[in-house]
Amino acid sequence: MPTRLILESPEATRAGPVAMSDVTAAVEVSHLSKCYGAVAAVHDVSFSVASGEVFAFLGPNGAGKTTTIKMLCTLARPTGGRAKVDGFDVERQPKAVRRHIGLVFQEQTLDDQLTAEENLRFHAVLYRVPHAEVEDRIDRVLRLVALSERRRDLVSTFSGGMARRLEIARGMLHTPAVLFLDEPTIGLDPQTRALMWEDVLRLRREEGVTIFLTTHYMDEAEYADRIAIIDHGSIVALDTPGALKHQVGADTVELVTTDDTLAAARLESAGFRVRHGEETLVVFAEDGEAQVARLIEVAGVPVSNVHVHRPTLDDVFLHFTGRQIREDHAEHTMPMRMRAFTRRR
């Protein structure tokens, strides 16, 4: 469906510089592909992320999100196309790329027999944080994720949410230009997820880091400045959350009236598109909220209930991919829980 493929809309250009030649781009990807045998996990993907942007890859499992992140982090070799992270080519300068990125994986990668501080110290050495700065950086990143109190505690005593926040802190320790978060909130409860998002947005604000994340939670994609919807290895839409919703269509206003037939006739003659729902009238309107008063006036019959529905990202996803995103929490949280039990070595 080529008409649906909008990679660069006017909104996107206003939201941030996205031109491929832009020197400030934190991530530049052109025609990137990755095939495993005959299977194309990622197919001809192009986009660019501006410095300081929060950029989300939204898509179901198996859509190619993790494969893309792996290529950007030099953990998988592209089979086609090019990618640059912070100006470094992922294929030709992998070490330079790794030094300028922070990584938080889906799976936990902490040593739970070390303390929070020891995990950070290990990371600081591996990522060449200058010796004189290590203490300050550790203090700072722990404060950013509110774990200063637990500094000397073994990671094995941490909850899943705390461990994840520590990993984010660790990812930020060497002041990376881009922080990659692969499904950062998977297996976390809603409260912890919200807390984690506060951390992430604070990082962006205070450290100016570019954040590239993948998620299959719609509500999380809302936090992003721009969203790329990826399905079957290709980007099917890329824009700001607002613009994407706008593209899906107008708001709908549901009216419960005493006389639907009369109200519908009057609204239609005033130029509104109207559909009869179950015991309601559904009116399509641009900016539904602002139109409510006028709709009631035009209907001219007593209205007992009004409900304005704005398109959600779920609608956006449905619109672009033709299906609902799979909500497979159980599939993911189960192995995490199982792991929690077997973590003690």
Partner 1 sequence: MTTTTVGVPAGSPVLADERENLGSELRTIGMVWQRELIRFVRTRTRILSSFVQPILFLFVLGYGMSTLVGTTGGFDFKKFVFPGIVSMSVVTTAMFSAISIVWDREFGFLREMLVAPVSRGALVIGKTLGGASVATVQGSIMLALAPLIGVHLTALLVVEVVGLELLMAVAITSFGVFVASRIQRMEGFQVVMQLLLFPMLFLSGALFPLKGLPAWLAVITRINPLTYAVDPLRHVVFAAQHMPPAAAARFSTGVTLFGYTLPLGAEIAVVGVFAVVFLGFAIAAFGRPE
Point out which residues bind partner 1 (CB under 8 A): 70, 73-77, 88, 92-93, 95-96, 98-100, 103, 105, 107-114, 118, 121-123, 125-128, 343, 345
Distance CA 75, CA 183 (A): 17
257: enclosing H helix or E strand: strand 251-257
Q: Which is nearer to partner 1, 122 or 197 (CB)?
A: 122
In the complex with partner 1, which residue's Cβ is closer, 125 or 262? 125
State which residue, 4 or 92, has the beta carbon closest to partner 1.
92
Helix (H) or strand (E) holding 208: none
Query: Are 27 and 48 contacting, i.e. CB atoms less than 8 angstroms apart?
Result: yes
What's the token pair of residue 57?
């890859």
d(CA 144, CA 132): 20
Tokens of 272: 């509104």
d(CA 139, CA 121) in angstroms, rounded, equals: 11
Shortest Å distance, C-beta 102 to partner 1: 10
Is 109 or 159 the residue whose CB approaches partner 1 more closely? Answer: 109
User: What is the residue whose two structure tokens read 């604000």?
Assistant: 205
Is residue 101 within 8 A of residue 179, CB to CB? The reply is yes
CB 115 to partner 1: min, Å: 9
Residue 10: its H or E element: helix 10-15
Q: Which two tokens stand for residue 247?
A: 């593209």
Q: How far is the CB of 98 from partner 1 (least distance, A)?
A: 4
Residue 111 or 297 having the CB closest to partner 1: 111
Query: Least distance to partner 1 from the beta carbon of 34, Å?
Result: 9
- Cβ of residue 242: shortest distance to partner 1, in angstroms? 35
Q: Give me the least distance between CB of 128 and partner 1, in Å please.
A: 5
Contact indicator for 80, 30 with CB cutoff of 8 Å: no
- Comparing CB distances to partner 1, the nearer of 42 and 221 is 42
